[in-house]
A and B are shown apart, each in its own frame.
Chain A
């Protein structure tokens, strides 16, 4: 058992989970909005990046930017449509609406981008790093670095800036925040746009690892769910710790037990944890 390599594997997998989970946990924590279209947004982010690189000839960094902007705009549209439900905090309807949106995105993407698998050329996914006997790619390094940077930036923003405290206020008690003159609508809009933009970034960085299909999405973000609940809903540090931790767990469970059962193991772990500690790892 190559322990060192499995640790590297775990960190690579984990940074991917954490990167994709950040946006979901913030949205859930601030707006109590369970975005079931997260997986399809991930898929769309990957395809916009692909389209920008292969059809529009943009270099990778610009393609990432294109994906972020495109999905940000889409997010604004979606949130505007859902605004009434968000303001009345009609959580059940919101959940179902995002499920519906996810379906529309899936069908629409299949019609626009087709059903064939595509690869993203021009990324660092094939640039190998050999550190002694260890191996990983420069793309893995990029994902890891970007994840840490993103978490750091978001943490600083929410904990150290005025805007951050506005968002936290709305998260705590939207009605009270409105009494203090905060425009909750704008906050929700901003958070949702951030969610879409962040998942686009995550997709642009993580998706190049393997071929992309318009039918993907659900499976790619299923671990997000575990990361968010394990780390504590809305907790930024929690999501990072849980993401990396889950990656390491998966690597070692797969190495010593059986890789094929990792999803079952992760979710069983989740259920057990929810029984013992309903608030997740980061109890408020």
Chain B
């Protein structure tokens, strides 16, 4: 009798022990070095913070979460190596993507081996195109949605009659401009697009374009520049130096912390929009956002910006879906997110389109004090 009990106990122990020891691996692949290093670091920090918060509350499915963070060095070939490492280390989910080409290179690798892939920041439309990854999920907004907000402001609020574009010459910039022009048509824009000036992502000198724009003298210039660490702050300063009188309307999400830090006062008067501000409505009324902002400030000594929110939301969305379906299977979890609404994220209720795109909520703002990044939210009617 004793031996049977001992045997049963031993068996139970043998079965239970591995299940308890198995942590859930949350992988992150972002640039941690190079030009986008500080940005990638912010997103990774936010992921780590939310994972800690979940662990404090008892973990997920009774298991502890562990973050495995890797550096893609903004190079697709390196990202592919890191993705392969994630597969070898049996990551249960990979939250990735600051640069679109790196995301696009990693997608097929992760999809082939059935690892759930959540894109936090990369903006390319190809990411959700479906063929490579039928279970793609993206947290950051897409050019299509962004264009609607900016177009509405320029046509409806600013009532501009002459509009010009200062566009980054790549798929992101050109795509955004095309989308805005399409929105103009939808809104029956009666004005004219006087000129388009383009530049390369790496450019830091914009005199030539600004001279042309000044001559054209539009009411508003829609600026699309994602080089938040060098090109954009330089552009803002040169814009003011050239004394361009047109309204500076920035594309969604380009006014990141570094732009304020570097260009300071020159930012005053810029109008743009973004999908998260910890201290502006509606986000300052969302409990999860306030909790996250407080914890982030405590842990890292800075207020969280949109990048941090994207990292946090990625984890929260995934964790919610896992908790709801009691599964870590890629298809199951993805289908609990795509086309569904997840409650309790820093964005409040997160509603996803069937193609995996999170529907964003925008705050249109004007910069009142660039040096201290003080913004004034503008009404969006």
> Would A and B touch once assembled, by the CB under 8 A criterion?
yes
A contacts, CB < 8 Å to B: 1-2, 5-6, 9, 12-13, 110, 115-117, 119, 126, 128, 135, 137, 209-213, 215-216, 219, 250-251, 254-255, 258-261, 263
4 additional A-B pairs beyond A117-B230, A211-B230, A259-B197, beta carbons within 8 Å, are A13-B205, A117-B262, A211-B262, A259-B199
Tell me the nearest residue of chain A to B207, going by C-beta: A9
Min CB distance, B355 to chain A, in Å? 30
Contact of B215 among A2, A115, A116, A137 (CB under 8 A): A2
Contact of A128 among B202, B234, B241 (CB under 8 A): B241
Min CB distance, A23 to chain B, in Å? 21
Contact of A117 among B41, B205, B237, B258 (CB under 8 A): B258
Contact of A211 among B37, B211, B214, B234 (CB under 8 A): B234
Tell me the nearest residue of chain B to A5, going by C-beta: B211
Min CB distance, B227 to chain A, in Å? 10
The residues of A that contact B33 with a CB separation of less than 8 Å are 110, 115
**Contact in complex: B211, A6 (CB < 8 Å):** yes
A5 and B35 alpha carbons, distance in the complex (Å): 32
**Contact in complex: A6, B262 (CB < 8 Å):** no
**Contact in complex: B242, A215 (CB < 8 Å):** no
28 A-B residue pairs with CB within 8 Å: A1-B212, A1-B215, A9-B211, A13-B205, A13-B207, A110-B34, A115-B38, A116-B229, A116-B258, A117-B229, A117-B230, A117-B258, A135-B241, A210-B234, A211-B234, A212-B230, A216-B35, A250-B208, A251-B208, A254-B208, A255-B208, A255-B212, A258-B198, A259-B197, A260-B199, A260-B200, A261-B169, A263-B200
A12 and B238 alpha carbons, distance in the complex (Å): 14
**Contact in complex: B198, A259 (CB < 8 Å):** yes
Contact mask for chain B residues 257-269; partner A; CB cutoff 8 A; 1 contact, 0 none: 0100110000000
The residues of B that contact A261 with a CB separation of less than 8 Å are 169
The residues of B that contact A135 with a CB separation of less than 8 Å are 241-243
Min CB distance, A149 to chain B, in Å? 22
**Contact in complex: B34, A215 (CB < 8 Å):** yes
B209 interfacial by beta-carbon distance below 8 Å: yes
B contacts, CB < 8 Å to A: 33-35, 37-38, 41, 169, 197-200, 202-205, 207-209, 211-212, 214-215, 229-231, 233-234, 237, 241-243, 258, 261-262
Listed residue (B35, B198, B208) with the most chain A CB atoms within 10 angstroms of its CB = B208
**Contact in complex: B35, A115 (CB < 8 Å):** yes
Min CB distance, A217 to chain B, in Å? 11
A201 and B211 alpha carbons, distance in the complex (Å): 28
A13 and B206 alpha carbons, distance in the complex (Å): 10
Q: A6-B208, A210-B204, A260-B199 are in contact. Are A117 and B233 (CB under 8 A)?
A: yes
Tell me the nearest residue of chain B to A215, going by C-beta: B35
The residues of B that contact A6 with a CB separation of less than 8 Å are 208, 211
Tell me the nearest residue of chain B to A10, going by C-beta: B208
Tell me the nearest residue of chain B to A212, going by C-beta: B230
A255 and B197 alpha carbons, distance in the complex (Å): 9
The residues of A that contact B258 with a CB separation of less than 8 Å are 116-117
The residues of A that contact B211 with a CB separation of less than 8 Å are 2, 5-6, 9, 255
A242 and B94 alpha carbons, distance in the complex (Å): 50
The residues of A that contact B230 with a CB separation of less than 8 Å are 117, 210-213, 216
Q: A209-B234, A215-B34 are in contact. Are A119 and B208 (CB under 8 A)?
A: no
The residues of A that contact B198 with a CB separation of less than 8 Å are 258-260
